[in-house]
Chain A
Amino acid sequence: MELHLGLALSSSSSSASSCSSEFDLINCNTNYDHESKIPIHHLKKRKHDDDGGNLHPLQTLPLLVWNNFCNKNQLNEQLHDHDEDNGDDGEVQSNSIFVHHRDDAGVIGWPPVKSCRKKLCHPKTSNYGGGGGGGGAGGGGGSKSMYVKVHMEGMGIARKIDLNLHRSYQTLVRTLANMFGKCYEDVKLTYQDKEGDWLLAGDVPWGSFIETIQRLKLLRKQ
Chain B
Amino acid sequence: MVYSFPEDVLEHVFSFITSDKDRNVVSLVCKSWYEIERWCRRRIFVGNCYAVSPGIVIRRFPDVKSVELKGKPHFADFNLVPDGWGGYVYPWIVEFSRAYPWLEEIWLKRMVVTDESLELISKSFKSFKVLVLSSCEGFSTDGLAAIAANCRNLRVLDLRESEVEDLSGHWLSHFSDTFTSLESLNIACLGSEVSFSALERLVARSPNLKTLKLNRAVPLDKLSTLLHRAPQLVDFGTGAYSAETRPDTYSSLSEAFSHCKELKDLSGFWDASPSYLPAIYPICSRLTSLNLSYSPIQSPDITKIITQCCNLQRLLVLDYIEDTGLNALAMSCKNLQELRVFPSEPYVVNPNVSLTEQGLVSVCEGCPKLESVLFFCRQMSNSALITIARTRPNLKCFRLCIIEPQAPDYLTFEPLDSGFGAIVEHCKSLTRLSLSGFLTDRVFEYIGTHGKKLKMLSLAFAGDSDLGLHYILSGCESLRKLEIRDCPFGDKALLANADKLETMRSLWMSSCSVSFGACKLLGQKMPRVNVEVMDESDCLDCKPDGCLVEKLYVYRTVAGPRHDMPHFIWTMGQDPAYSLN
Of A5-13, A79-87, A174-182, A201-209, the stretch lying at the interface with chain B is A5-13
- Contact residue among A71, A135, A137, A194 (Cβ-Cβ distance under 8 Å from B345): A194
How far is it, in angstroms, between the C-alpha of A184 and the C-alpha of B18 when the chains are bound?
68
Interface size, chain A (Cβ < 8 Å): 71
The answer to the question of A167 belonging to the interface, with a C-beta cut-off of 8 Å to chain B, is no
Interface size, chain B (Cβ < 8 Å): 73
A5 to chain B, nearest CB (A): 8
**Contacts A39-B440, A46-B548: A111 and B75 contacting too (C-beta < 8 A)?**
no
- Name, among A24, A30, A110, the residue most crowded by chain B CB atoms within 10 Å (CB to CB): A110
Once the chains bind, are A137 and B465 in contact (CB under 8 Å)? no
**Contacts A107-B486, A109-B79: A7 and B470 contacting too (C-beta < 8 A)?**
yes
Compute the total of residue contacts between A and B using a CB distance below 8 Å: 181
Per-residue B-contact encoding for A42-82, CB less than 8 Å = 1, 0 else: 10101000101111000000000011001100000000000
Once the chains bind, are A23 and B499 in contact (CB under 8 Å)? no
Once the chains bind, are A19 and B410 in contact (CB under 8 Å)? no
Once the chains bind, are B445 and A3 in contact (CB under 8 Å)? yes
Per-residue B-contact encoding for A96-133, CB less than 8 Å = 1, 0 else: 00001110000111111111111010110101110001
Q: Chain A's interface: helix, strand, loop or mixed, by majority?
A: loop
* A 123-170 contacts with B by CB, 8 A: 123, 125, 127-129, 133-137, 148
B422 to chain A, nearest CB (A): 14
How far is it, in angstroms, between the C-alpha of A30 and the C-alpha of B135 when the chains are bound?
40
- Contact residue among A20, A66, A129 (Cβ-Cβ distance under 8 Å from B352): A129
The answer to the question of B461 belonging to the interface, with a C-beta cut-off of 8 Å to chain A, is yes
Q: Chain B's interface: helix, strand, loop or mixed, by majority?
A: loop
Task: Find chain A residues with CB under 8 A from B500 CB.
Answer: 11-13
Per-residue A-contact encoding for B411-454, CB less than 8 Å = 1, 0 else: 00111000000000000000000000010111001000000000
Once the chains bind, are A25 and B496 in contact (CB under 8 Å)? yes
What residue in chain A is nearest B299 (Cβ atoms)? A127
Task: Find chain A residues with CB under 8 A from B465 CB.
Answer: 28-31
Task: Find chain B residues with CB under 8 A from A196 CB.
Answer: 346-347
What residue in chain A is nearest B471 (Cβ atoms)? A7
**Contacts A109-B79, A127-B353: A194 and B348 contacting too (C-beta < 8 A)?**
yes
**Contacts A66-B438, A111-B346: A31 and B413 contacting too (C-beta < 8 A)?**
no
**Contacts A44-B513, A108-B79: A135 and B408 contacting too (C-beta < 8 A)?**
no
B340 to chain A, nearest CB (A): 11
Task: Find chain B residues with CB under 8 A from A95 CB.
Answer: none
- Contact residue among A16, A101, A214 (Cβ-Cβ distance under 8 Å from B486): A101
Given contacts A25-B493, A41-B438, A107-B486, 16 further A-B pairs with CB under 8 A are A17-B525, A22-B495, A23-B495, A23-B496, A29-B464, A39-B440, A44-B488, A50-B543, A55-B548, A66-B413, A101-B461, A101-B511, A109-B80, A133-B348, A193-B347, A194-B347
